[in-house]
């Protein structure tokens, strides 16, 4: 039996142990946006460092940033001096779990039901980080690494990686590599191994509309004061036209058009109207006229209200005109839109549309650009044949609607391409209640990564 086979076998026999270890990782409530979870963030970072140290990796460190730290570890231990280096990117932070009462088991309990492990972060992306570590472990316990490995696991992805660019700028040499493996994407379905080659960007805002100095009696003042909740709703409603197009001035100016060939390729993916209706439970889909669902998600920009607040939302009734209203609004962007320009476009829109009866404020939150990855990179080929070995079929290539700004930032700052994959499924409820990880797919994912490291190492 060769070392590759030994590693694959090791991963098989270790399944139960891997699962137990993943549970302890998911157990840690590492919510990056919650200031009260600092200790948990540290604990999650330490969970990784302990694993990396146990594997005998070098330079293992929790490197502080202005925000949550980055975990680093490396093994310049490939069996050949000219072996390539893979930088494994991941994030140990997770989204908040609320609304907690919709979870069937507590979000940080890591509960096994059927073939799934339920818990916040199980799929996005502690399961994926763990799968990468376990694949490296399986190889190291059964021989030498076929490639050099560097881990860079951040703690702020879910809040827009505010400190990762400066981290990469100041650690260029440490992070030097031939390719980044980014398992933060996912699969279309359990029987459809998937490589992601494009991601949308993100620009996130808060809009505040201020009316009267304080809440007013709606009987004494209704009819003479413009209700800020109404104003905000009208502003939001005006951000899309009848055709589902976004009305911010200049918004589409730099949107790159899809080629006929790419449209034909995307049309082959099994992601039609029915697919999205099944995934979401909505009675009908919505979106920009003239484009299919898969095009709208992968290659067209979108704008969404993420949350909206104003006035009285408690039990019972209270007759009041709220003094202010706010909404969190985000846009998903495609090449070659400039995320920073969207701020100006939204500001322009508000200047044109907001009535003189209120004051308003626009706050810029995180932003990151869209990216397209080179699917002809040798690492992509290595991953594709890894999928073929484990799933018995080649992967499909998809554009992803979600955002992983580090991919574009790595291209820009480190000059490094990413190969994007992941072993979460599109019905994993990431960012929602009852997030889960499909374990049979996850185990196959570990096998796939073992093949990937060998394939890539053997390429040259």
Q: Token pair for residue 202?
A: 């993100």
**Pick 146 or 424: Cβ nearer ligand BES:** 424
Shortest Å, Cβ 195 to Mn ion: 16
Work out whether 417 is an interface residue with Mn ion (CB under 5 A): no
Going by C-alpha positions, the residue among 160, 54, 158 that lies closest to residue 97 is 158
**Pick 157 or 178: Cβ nearer ligand BES:** 157
Per partner kind, with CB cut-offs from 5 to 8 A, the member of ligand BES, Mn ion, none near residue 154 is none
Question: Is 88 in contact with 151 (CB distance < 8 Å)?
Answer: yes
Shortest Å, Cβ 210 to Mn ion: 35
Per partner kind, with CB cut-offs from 5 to 8 A, the member of Mn ion, ligand BES, none near residue 400 is ligand BES
Per partner kind, with CB cut-offs from 5 to 8 A, the member of Mn ion, ligand BES, none near residue 149 is none
Residues that bind ligand BES (CB under 6 A): 124-125, 157-158, 160, 184-186, 202, 366, 368, 400, 402-405, 430
**Pick 103 or 197: Cβ nearer ligand BES:** 197
Per partner kind, with CB cut-offs from 5 to 8 A, the member of ligand BES, Mn ion, none near residue 185 is ligand BES
Shortest Å, Cβ 404 to Mn ion: 7
CA-CA-CA-CA torsion for 236, 277, 424, 437, nearest 10 degrees? 100
Shortest Å, Cβ 124 to Mn ion: 4
Going by the DSSP 8-state scheme, the letter that residue 226 receives in this structure is: -
Residues in 165-184 that interact with Mn ion by CB under 5 A: 184
SS3 sequence, 137-172? HHHHCCCCECCEEEEEEECCHHHCCCCHHHHHHHCC
Per partner kind, with CB cut-offs from 5 to 8 A, the member of Mn ion, ligand BES, none near residue 417 is none
Containing 4, the helix (H) or strand (E) segment is helix 3-13
Work out whether 93 is an interface residue with Mn ion (CB under 5 A): no
How many residues in total does the chain contain?
460
**Pick 362 or 365: Cβ nearer ligand BES:** 365
User: C-alpha 427: how far from its chain's center?
Assistant: 15
Work out whether 125 is an interface residue with Mn ion (CB under 5 A): yes
- Which position among 74, 124, 137, 156 is part of the footprint of Mn ion (CB under 5 A)? 124
Shortest Å, Cβ 183 to ligand BES: 9
User: C-alpha 33: how far from its chain's center?
Assistant: 15
**Pick 194 or 310: Cβ nearer ligand BES:** 194
Residues in 310-369 that interact with Mn ion by CB under 5 A: none
- Bond from prior residue into 59 cis (ω within 30 degrees of 0): no
Shortest Å, Cβ 283 to Mn ion: 29
Containing 342, the helix (H) or strand (E) segment is helix 339-353
Residue 368 has phi, psi (to 5 degrees) of -150, 145
Shortest Å, Cβ 41 to ligand BES: 16
Triad 152, 156, 160: Cα angle to 5°: 115
**Pick 163 or 403: Cβ nearer ligand BES:** 403
Going by C-alpha positions, the residue among 35, 152, 187, 46 that lies closest to residue 96 is 35
Question: Is 200 in contact with 370 (CB distance < 8 Å)?
Answer: yes
Per partner kind, with CB cut-offs from 5 to 8 A, the member of ligand BES, Mn ion, none near residue 405 is ligand BES
SS3 309: strand
Shortest Å, Cβ 207 to Mn ion: 26
Per partner kind, with CB cut-offs from 5 to 8 A, the member of Mn ion, ligand BES, none near residue 402 is ligand BES
Spatial CB neighbours of 327, under 8 Å, sequence gap ≥ 6? 206, 207, 232, 236, 305, 306, 307, 308, 309
Question: Is 333 in contact with 198 (CB distance < 8 Å)?
Answer: no
Going by C-alpha positions, the residue among 199, 183, 112 that lies closest to residue 424 is 183
Taking CB positions, which residue lies at the least distance from ligand BES? 402
Per partner kind, with CB cut-offs from 5 to 8 A, the member of ligand BES, Mn ion, none near residue 49 is none
Shortest Å, Cβ 213 to ligand BES: 35
- Please give the residue ranges that form the binding site for Mn ion (CB under 5 A): 124-125, 184
């Amino acid at each position: 039996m060769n070392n590759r086979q030994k590693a694959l076998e090791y991963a098989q026999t270790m399944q139960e142990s891997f699962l137990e270890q993943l549970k302890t990782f998911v157990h840690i409530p590492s919510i990056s946006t919650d200031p009260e979870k600092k200790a948990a963030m540290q604990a999650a970072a330490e969970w990784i460092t302990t694993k990396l140290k146990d594997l005998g990796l070098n330079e293992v460190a929790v490197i502080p940033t202005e925000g949550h730290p980055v975990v680093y570890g490396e093994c310049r231990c490939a069996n050949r001096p000219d072996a390539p280096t893979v930088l494994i990117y991941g994030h140990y932070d997770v989204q908040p779990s609320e609304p907690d009462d919709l979870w069937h088991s507590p979000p940080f309990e890591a509960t096994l039901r059927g073939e799934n492990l339920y818990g916040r972060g199980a799929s996005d992306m502690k399961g994926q980080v763990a799968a990468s570590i376990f694949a490296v472990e399986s190889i190291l316990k059964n021989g030498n690494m076929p490639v050099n490995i560097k881990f860079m696991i951040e703690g702020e992805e879910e809040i827009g990686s505010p400190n990762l660019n400066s981290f990469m700028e100041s650690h260029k040499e440490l992070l030097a590599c031939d390719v980044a493996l980014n398992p933060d994407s996912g699969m279309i379905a359990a029987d459809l191994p998937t490589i992601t080659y494009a991601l949308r960007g993100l620009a996130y805002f808060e809009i505040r509309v201020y009316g009267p100095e304080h809440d007013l009696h709606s009987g004494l003042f209704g009819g003479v004061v413009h209700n800020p909740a109404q104003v905000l709703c009208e502003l939001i409603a005006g951000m899309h036209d009848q055709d589902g197009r976004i009305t911010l001035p200049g918004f589409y100016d730099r949107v790159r058009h899809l080629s006929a060939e790419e449209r034909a390729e995307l049309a082959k993916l099994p992601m039609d109207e029915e697919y999205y209706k099944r995934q979401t439970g909505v009675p009908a889909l919505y979106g920009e006229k003239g484009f299919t669902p898969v095009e709208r998600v992968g290659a067209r920009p979108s704008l969404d209200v993420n949350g909206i607040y104003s006035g009285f939302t408690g039990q019972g009734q209270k007759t009041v005109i709220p003094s202010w209203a706010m909404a969190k609004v985000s846009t998903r962007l495609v090449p070659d839109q400039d995320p920073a320009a969207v701020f100006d476009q939204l500001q322009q829109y508000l200047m044109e549309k907001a009535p003189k009866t209120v004051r308003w404020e626009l706050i810029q939150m995180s932003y990151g650009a869209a990216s397209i990855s080179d699917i002809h990179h040798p690492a992509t080929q290595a991953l594709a044949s890894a999928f073929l070995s484990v799933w018995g079929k080649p992967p499909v290539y998809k554009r992803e609607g979600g955002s992983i700004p580090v991919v574009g930032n790595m291209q820009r700052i480190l000059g490094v391409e990413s190969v994007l994959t992941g072993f979460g499924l599109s019905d994993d409820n990431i960012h929602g209640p009852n997030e889960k990880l499909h374990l049979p797919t996850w185990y196959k994912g570990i096998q796939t990564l073992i093949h990937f490291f060998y394939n890539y190492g053997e390429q040259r």
